[in-house]
Structures are given as C-alpha cells and as structure tokens.
Amino acid sequence: MLRFALLISLVAGGLQAASASVAALMPMPLKVESATGQLAIDGTFTAVAAACSDARMEAALSRLTARISRQTGIPMGIGQPADANRPTLRVECVAAGSALPALGEDESYTLDISADGARLKAATGAGTIHGLETFVQLIAPGADGFQVPAIHLEDKPRFPWRGLMIDVSRHWMPLAVVERNLDAMAAVKLNVFHWHLSDDQGFRVESKRYPRLQQAGSDGRYYTQQQIREVVEYARNRGIRVVPEFDIPGHTQSWLAAYPDLASVPGPYTIGRTWGVYDPVMDPTIEATYQFLDAFIGEMAQLFPDPFFHIGGDEVNPKEWNQSARIKEFAQQHNLDGAHGLQAYFNQRIQKTLEKYGKTMIGWDEILHPDLPAAAIIQSWRGAKSLADAAAKGHRGILSSGYYLDHLEPASQHYSVDPLAGPAADLTPQQAALILGGEACMWAEYVSSETVDSRIWPRMAAIAERFWSPKDLTDVNSMYARMEAVSRTLEWTGVEHRANYGPMLDRLTGGQPAEPVRILADASQGLGLGPRARARKYTSLIPLNRFVDAVRPESESVRRLELAAARFLASHEAGDGALLREQFTRWAANDALFQPLAEGNALLAELKPLSKDLSILGGMGLKILDYLGGSQPAPADWISAQNQELTRIQRPNVEVTLAAFRPVRVLLDELARKGR
Ligand code: ACM
C-alpha cells in the first residue's frame, strides 16, 4: 500500500515537472503530450546527430551542450568521450536540407523524450535546429537535479516568414549586437533577419565599388564585407535568412552625402542627425542613377546570398520631384502619374536590375502600384489593409503593421495582431496563402547598442509565437507567464535585455546601486517613438542614457500587482491583500528616500515629480485597501478627488508612464462601484 502511494506521488511529480517545463515553452508547439517520468540532464549528457550530420549540425550540437552546461553549471563535453551508441539526445533528419535557409523549406520536427533518452526527428536541418531550442526550453531543475520531462511533441510553423528587422542606421549597432540578437531569434524560432542597412543617418556597409558610401555616409561606423559574410554565416548556422535592405529612392541622404549627383536637387549634402522624413531623394529621371544602382546592387547581390532583396521604398517625399520642372516634364513624357508614378517607374527599373542579379524585390507598402511586377513582395507597415490589397492583386506579403517594437506597446497588443485577421480575413484561400507571415520592426531613433535588446526582448518572443504557433492560441495570461519565463532563459543566449537595466540605473546615481531609483524604475514604463518625438527635440548626438532609456517598455512587477488586485477583489485572498499592501507601503515610503539622491544630480532631478507621484499612489492604494476592508464607506468626494489625482498621475511625464497607477485604478474603480 505504501509502495503504491509512493508510485502515485512519483507519477504526479513527473506530470508536474512536465507541466512546469511546458509552461516555459515559447513559441508553444503545435502538439504537446506529457508522459510520465523525466530524463536526467547531468554530466554524462551527449547529443549525437545520427543522420544528416554536417558542419552546421555539429556546430548546433556543440552550442547546445555549451548552453546546457552554462544553464546547469555542470561541466559537459569535456573529458569523457561521447557514447555514440547511447546518447542522451539523438538527432535524426531525413535530409540536411538546403545549404542556405530557404523560404518555405520544411521546418517541422518531432521530439520524444523518455527516461531513457530523447529523440529529435526532422525532415531537414532547419527542423532540427528548431527542435534543439525546444529541448533547451524544457530543461528545468527537479528534485534530483536538472531534467527534461517525458513528452511527445509535434511541431511546425504556421508561417514560413518570421522576421525581425533591425535598423542599424539611426544608431549604429556593432557586430556583437547583431550576433547576440541572432542567437535570441533562433531561440524563439525566428527565421528572417531583415537588416535595415542604410537610411538618411548612415550608410552601414562597405562598398568596394563605391567606397565613398561608407567613407562619407557612415561616420566611420559600418560593417566590412568580411563582417557581413560572418553575419550571414552566423545566421545560416542558426537557420536564419539575412535579407538586406537598402532603402531607395527616399531615406537616402547618407548616399547623397557621398554621391550628390544622384540627388534630385544639387547638393552638397551631409548625413542626417535628426529624425523624420527628409526632402532629399534620388533623381529617378537620370540614367546615372540606374547605372550606379545597377553596379551597387550587383556588388551587394554577391555579398548577400538570400534570393530576396529589400529596396525600402517608404516615405518618399514628393516635394523635390513636384517642384522640379525638369522632373515633372519627364513624368509627363513618360505618362507617369505624378510622384507615385515616378516611384513606380523607378521601381520597375530597379526590378529589372534585381532580376538580372537573380533577386526578388521586397519593399514597404508604398511600392504597391498597378505597374509593380507581381513577383514583388509587399511589407505592410501603414496598416493591415495594404497587406490584403497586395494579396488581392497577386503579391506575396508580410505584415509589420502592429509589430513596431519601437512604439513600446505592451506585448499583449502585438500578440493580438494576426497576419490573417482584419482585412486579410476576407481573402480567398488562394489569396490568403500569399501572406507569408510577419516581421517585427526595431527602428533605431530611440535605441542605442546598450538599450536595443531591452526594446526587442522579451516582447519579440510573444510576436514570434504569433508567427509560429496555432492561430487560436490567444490566452494573454498564458502568454505573459511563458514570455516572462523565456525572458530569463533568453539572457543565457547572450542577449542583454535584462543585463543592462541595473547598471544603467546605477549610472544615474553616480555609480552607486540605489534601491529607491530601482523601485521607481520598476514602477515605470518607457514611452515609444511618437510621444518621445513630441516630448523633446532629439538628434543622433543626444546620448540615450536617461531614466526613460533604462526603464522597461513593460513592467512585469506592475502587471503582477494588477492581477493581484483583480484577484483580491474577486476572492479576497489574504496573500494578494498582503502583497498589495507591502508594495503600496514601499511606494509610499520611496519618495523620502529618493529626494536626497536627486539633490545636485541632473539625471535624477527631472524625476522628482515622478517619484512624488509614486508615493502618492502608494498612499492612495493603502487608503483604498483600508476602505475596502473596513466597515466605513469611502466618502464620495474623497473618491472623486482620488479619481482626479489618478487621472493626472497616469499622464506621461519625463517620457515615461507611471505604470503603478494601474493596480490602484483597479481598486479605486471597485471602491467607486461599491459606493454607488
Ligand atoms: C517605415 O516605418 N517607414 C517603413
């Protein structure tokens, strides 16, 4: 009887371990069946590729072992030779797949784990790379050390194009930033790195054919061709395609600083230092423009092996074309419909060049025009409608509208955006099949190499799930719980979205760790591109080292308090009440500790009113809890005064929002309801 009971509890323990590990999976696999038992992960861990072993697979397995070793602290892969007959993890694939990651290749895999070992099977190398990432996410500490749960898992992506775009023009992103983000991308099964390599503020690639591009257009900050090859190989090893973007004919002031003869209006030009849409654009009427771009694209086509080549095409300012009698006359002679017709003419010429070099055009949705060849892919950023319009006209498309990471929206908002929803829902199945997936965009006006990771991750993981996992996976609380779990493991891949938070806050206080600043930061959320642009005149020369740059786009701790507040109202759990009271007390006391730090400190001085408001929120929260728990009703005029105060406090200040207002708002609304 005793033995039977023990068995039951072990079984239950095994299932618990499985569900705990599954709770950390992101993107959620298509099908997960938990079994009983677990596989120990210890110093004997070995991973072997039984079929389709090639250099890429061997490199993936050795990265895997190093990562598990780093996670568990157990030395691995050193000393003892791998027992190829009884590996912990056996990887098999039917075929290695294409040497370069390719759009539409079979990325599916299955993973079977029992106490005896794990087996990962895939059709191609791409599938095995994804399966290895799932295996790592399943590793968790158990009663007897690290383990993975027994499980049967079948998985494949919903969309074949799952991307992240990083702008390296507005702020320079050194190679290490790119590579660590590629590691994190692989961890959540993204497969396209869209590299926004040129814009008004910088031209970031070495051209041997036109060296003034990097000499006059980059402030000396650009990637050499050797570095580009290194990144392409780094990405290939992780199953990620690299799609370069050279934005033309607008967003080209850095090109024009180097080659002013390409401009519609005579120069000279200098590289841009401010943000927005500039007047200067390339001249689409002169043959010199096309000769230059032919030679340039020919050179870049060699450097970037992916068959897709992004020509930008967004926000082409028509001003100079409309003001030029010469350009207008050209448009009339060629029967072109104004500026949009001129851009369509330009795109048709560029399309022929791309075709010559074996590339397919992709561009932002402004390139959509009746004359655009059907093969061109449309990247929809101004709204989901252009995606559906493009598909209705026979173009393949990807969605970026709704996935702008630089707007610093909550993960839940991005998660609710689906490439096949909205106007795309009315497409025929054939048209809908043209929608390849999506890309999140990290524009770099308000990020530096120090802050960019924290503006991409962990929210990117939630978007990656939208691109990979079934459409009906929409539970926001589950998403947040798994995103927060994955956020921690992502840091072990090398990305620094959490690592820089503490040091940046310490720097604000002159290098001293200061808890009151951290409490204020934990309660705050940074504002995105639009509100920041309205708050202050920025240029590329202004350092991004203020409080707003350190604080996160979304506060995990405030979200937890908001949930605790809702639960407290629903069920009056003492634990939730205590948690709220403890946090409100800390906020209430924080300002008295913060103000002395801010004396004589210019970086902290601007935060004085914010800090005061946090303490007001703390005091208000405590008082509301008192009213909710007591027998005295709150006076109506008191509630009304708090409402006004809360409305004031929730307005952004010093480019951040005091997210801490949210749990207080939940409680105050309930108090107001009770009072009625
Ligand atoms: C864009 O955001 N201008 C594509």
Task: Using the structure block, give the residue that is written with the tokens 């308000």.
Answer: 446
Give the residue-averaged pLDDT of 52-68. Answer: 91
Question: Which among 99-103, 220-224, 488-492, 572-576 has the top mean pLDDT?
Answer: 220-224
Across 54-58, 150-154, 462-466, 638-642, least confident range: 54-58
pLDDT value for 11 = 39
Indicate if ligand 1 lies below 6 Å from the C-beta of 105.
Answer: no
Asked if pLDDT for residue 261 goes beyond 70, the answer is yes
For 260, counting Cβ atoms within 10 Å of its Cβ (0-12 exposed, 13-18 middle, 19+ buried), the class is middle
Q: pLDDT by residue (tens digit) across 164-223?
A: 999 999 999 999 999 999 999 999 999 999 999 999 999 999 999 999 999 999 999 999
Measured between alpha carbons, how far is 90 from 593 in angstroms, rounded to an integer? 56
Residue 510 amino acid letter: G
* Spatial CA neighbour of 26 closest among 554, 491, 469, 488: 469
pLDDT value for 10 = 34
CA of 222 to the centre of ligand 1 (A): 21
Q: Give nearest CA residue, ligand 1 atom 4.
A: 314
Indicate if ligand 1 lies below 6 Å from the C-beta of 92.
Answer: no
Give the residue-averaged pLDDT of 548-558. Answer: 97
Q: What percent of the chain is modeled with pLDDT above 70?
A: 96
Q: Fold identical between 161-493 and 501-675?
A: no
* Spatial CA neighbour of 177 closest among 223, 239, 128, 225: 223
- Helix, strand, coil share (%) of the chain residues, nearest 5: 50, 15, 35
Indicate if ligand 1 lies below 6 Å from the C-beta of 364.
Answer: yes
Q: What percent of the chain is modeled with pLDDT above 90?
A: 89
The contacts of residue 140 (CB under 8 Å, 6+ apart) are 17, 20, 21, 24, 146, 147, 148
Q: pLDDT by residue (tens digit) across 619-628?
A: 999 999 999 9
Asked if pLDDT for residue 71 goes beyond 60, the answer is yes
pLDDT value for 68 = 94
Tell me 676's DSSP state. -
Across 16-30, 185-199, 599-613, least confident range: 16-30
Give the residue-averaged pLDDT of 309-337. Answer: 97
Domain assignments of the chain as residue spans, ordered by start: 31-155, 161-493, 501-675
Residue 155 near residue 470, CB atoms below 8 Å: no
How sure is the predictor about 144, in pLDDT bands with cuts at 50, 70 and 90?
A: confident
Q: Give nearest CA residue, ligand 1 atom 3.
A: 314
Please, what is the angle between helix 574-598 and helix 515-522, to 10°? 120
Residue 155 near residue 29, CB atoms below 8 Å: yes
Q: Does domain 161-493 have CATH number 1.10.260.40?
A: no
CA of 276 to the centre of ligand 1 (A): 10
CA of 60 to the centre of ligand 1 (A): 34
pLDDT value for 7 = 32
How sure is the predictor about 2, in pLDDT bands with cuts at 50, 70 and 90?
A: very low
The contacts of residue 280 (CB under 8 Å, 6+ apart) are 200, 252, 253, 256, 263, 264, 265, 269, 320
Residue 363 near residue 382, CB atoms below 8 Å: no
Across 95-104, 120-129, 207-216, 457-466, least confident range: 95-104
Residue 160 near residue 36, CB atoms below 8 Å: no
How sure is the predictor about 120, in pLDDT bands with cuts at 50, 70 and 90?
A: very high
First to last CA, the chain: 59
What class, spelled out in words, does domain 31-155 have in CATH? alpha beta
To test the pocket of ligand 1, the residue of 200, 315, 317 to mutate (highest count of ligand atoms within 8 Å of its CB) is 315
Indicate if ligand 1 lies below 6 Å from the C-beta of 381.
Answer: yes
What CATH superfamily is the domain 501-675?
Hyaluronidase post-catalytic domain-like (1.20.58.460)
Bridge partners, 595 (sequence order):
none
Q: pLDDT by residue (tens digit) across 467-486?
A: 999 999 999 999 999 999 99
**Which residue of the set 92, 315, 556, 606 is catalytic?**
315
Asked if pLDDT for residue 69 goes beyond 60, the answer is yes
Active-site residue flag, 154: no
Q: Give nearest CA residue, ligand 1 atom 2.
A: 381
Can you give the pTM of this predicted structure? 0.96
